[in-house]
Structure 1
Amino acid sequence: MNLLVVDDEPDVQALFEQRFRREIRSGAMTFTFAHSAQEALDFLTREGSNNLLILSDINMPGMSGLELLKRIRAMYTLPPPPVIMMITAYGDQPSYQQAMQDGANDFLSKPLDFTELKAKIAQLAGS
């Protein structure tokens, strides 16, 4: 499973690499990190979306995660668009509703519960 993590926070990469070190070492997961929505779009243009799960923050400078979600859903109609999980510090109902309305497959709030995140990744990877 390939994961693209989109978050402007500088410590996110180290945190994910530490929490998923076993999966990374075994080759079960690979991670790419984008520090902006535009960087994520550039990656998708270059690399495509095969076997890719995108984890994106909502609140980022420039283009928000919700705008990124809309652009990705517009880019990929067939084959089915990549799976999107929106991650945000704003676990409020309007953000949840907007993310789901825009096509997110799931929604998590920060601070992340990595046990829950791993379970959701496994569930989405199996579908």
Structure 2
Amino acid sequence: MIWFHSPSRAILAVRLLLSAVFLFYGSVKLLGGQYHYGDWTISKSTADGTSLVWAFYGYSPFYGRVTGLFEFLPAVMLLFRRTTFLGAAALFAVSLNITLMDFAFHYPFVKYLAATYTVLCAVLVLHDKPKLTAALHDPAADA
């Protein structure tokens, strides 16, 4: 594919993919979906890991929507070159948490997608190496 021979086009494709994924999931959470809200009874002996996590996050509708905001806002930032680094760094932290949770609670195949999104966020962060270096640089070390 000639289209991907240009690194900038590949990075743009990664930005757009991640933005679409996290805009979708963030929107679902902001609109009150994905988590189990309301009254429920759950037992560790009868509930699978996925149900346990959805019930936990749904225990507080406020918290459930905040998790959506933490996906939605950085996804919007990926749409603009000027804010890509900050959006990618924020989504790296969010997606790493999702990946760890998915593997720890034995989610089905989606855990591999989460891991892929985490790696792609890391690619975007590392692609902006000068910004990463500046963010980690200690000016006191130069003195």
User: Could you say whether these structures have the same fold, taking a TM-score greater than 0.5 normalized by the shorter chain as the test?
Assistant: no
Q: TM-score, normalised by structure 1?
A: 0.30
Question: Looking at CA atoms only, which structure, 1 or 2, has the larger radius of gyration?
Answer: 2
Greater helix proportion:
2
